[in-house]
Chain A
């Protein structure tokens, strides 16, 4: 079937089996390998994408469900040449080790900040609790997200 949706700000149309998983459509049909598959069962968050701005798991969504949706993958989180502020903060804080969980982690954090621009550290931990990282121990990831919330707070003060 032909599935039409918006991907990283562009309208696209792909011809795929309707029961193909969204993660396979992204990685194999569209070559966007930033989205990772970890457990394939909804327990790790590595395959997180944004669907109409909300973090969902692309291993538990079928191609047919992409129709008409606005999909953001890690490749499209920053809509300009540079990195997204979360990506910059992850680099600055050394929040990345093996890196496999990071695309999902950053998209999970982006969804959290969209809903709650200035979360506490506890709220950040809860917000990314669906994204498992086996390297970092999470401290530096939470530091990185906190930095972005601090920037938001300062922006709020100055305006």
Chain B
């Protein structure tokens, strides 16, 4: 039998973490409990973060948004501030798991699980999100792309938890799009995804472009050459094809049960061709 703690405030959390250094921390349980049942993860002690008010909710802090790490995906989708300021993230979260999974899983959990297929990760990369990490008595911020170091691997230190995510509001990005390929619409682990954050002139010329792909490499893949290929041009078929070629060079997909590496590489480029459909 494992001990299971449900701390009610941060003071309780830090004292449990000090007393139980081998504890594994979880919020929704949609990843950790599955890995434990399959035997992939052994955890003698569990700490569930679902009842910590300090990790809940969404705040507007000047030009930034703060998302509490233990805020569920469903709560993000219901939040009017998230709807107004982070439409790219909203599009991604709508495709994540299923209604019950979104009622349980949290944004912080999606980041800490650091799956190459994590649906919130490509948007968080292009939004230049920063994770807020706390340790008993200390706090630091790290760009999400530095926090995640490999599949399932992060820079989370012993005794530290992710408490929130800071995102600068993308006020100028007037074209925000998330595209995901899966075997079906719900309950589908991602085969390839694209998050695009573009700023266009009224005539449709790209002023700036941020692009990130999911499920086509060990972590989220960025392709500065593809971004540069879009910048200064309208989103014509030729421009997009040129950018798609750079994207296919940048990705490093694998063959797995869901799709072949070759298919993923092809699709990673093709997802760019969908951008004109939503211009403006």
Contact = CB atoms under 8 A, between A and B. Distances in A.
A127 B7 CA distance: 32
Contacts of A108: 99-100
Interface residues of B, number: 27
Nearest to A45: B100
Contact of A67 (B1, B6, B99, B104): B6
A96 interface: no
A19 B100 contact: no
B187 A19 contact: no
Interface stretch (B12-20, B29-37, B170-178): B29-37
B28 to A, nearest CB: 8
Contacts of A112: 99
Contacts of A128: 99
Contact of A60 (B1, B104, B186): B104
A144 interface: no
Q: Interface residues of A toward B: which range?
A: 20 to 34
A64 B4 contact: yes
A130 B187 contact: yes
B254 interface: no
A62 B33 contact: yes
Interface of B is mostly: mixed
A56 interface: yes
Contacts of B74: 54
B52 interface: no
Contacts of B99: 55, 108, 111-112, 126-130
A129 B98 contact: yes
Given A42-B34, A130-B186, A130-B187, A56 B2 contact: no
A62 B29 contact: yes
Contacts of A99: none
B50 interface: yes
Given A19-B2, A127-B99, A60 B187 contact: no
A75 interface: no
A43 B187 contact: yes
A108 B2 CA distance: 30
A112 B99 CA distance: 9
A19 B98 contact: no
In the complex, which of the residues A42, A61, A62 has the most CB atoms of chain B within 10 Å of its own CB atom?
Answer: A42
B122 interface: no
Interface of B: 1-6, 28-30, 33-34, 37-38, 46, 48, 50, 74, 97-101, 103-104, 185-187
24 contacts: A18-B4, A40-B37, A41-B34, A42-B100, A43-B187, A45-B98, A56-B103, A57-B104, A60-B28, A60-B30, A61-B29, A62-B4, A62-B46, A62-B48, A64-B4, A108-B99, A111-B99, A126-B99, A129-B99, A130-B98, A130-B99, A130-B101, A130-B186, A132-B187
Given A18-B1, A56-B103, A130-B100, 19 more contacts: A18-B4, A19-B1, A19-B4, A40-B37, A41-B38, A42-B104, A43-B187, A55-B100, A56-B100, A57-B30, A57-B101, A60-B30, A62-B46, A111-B99, A126-B99, A129-B99, A129-B186, A130-B99, A130-B186
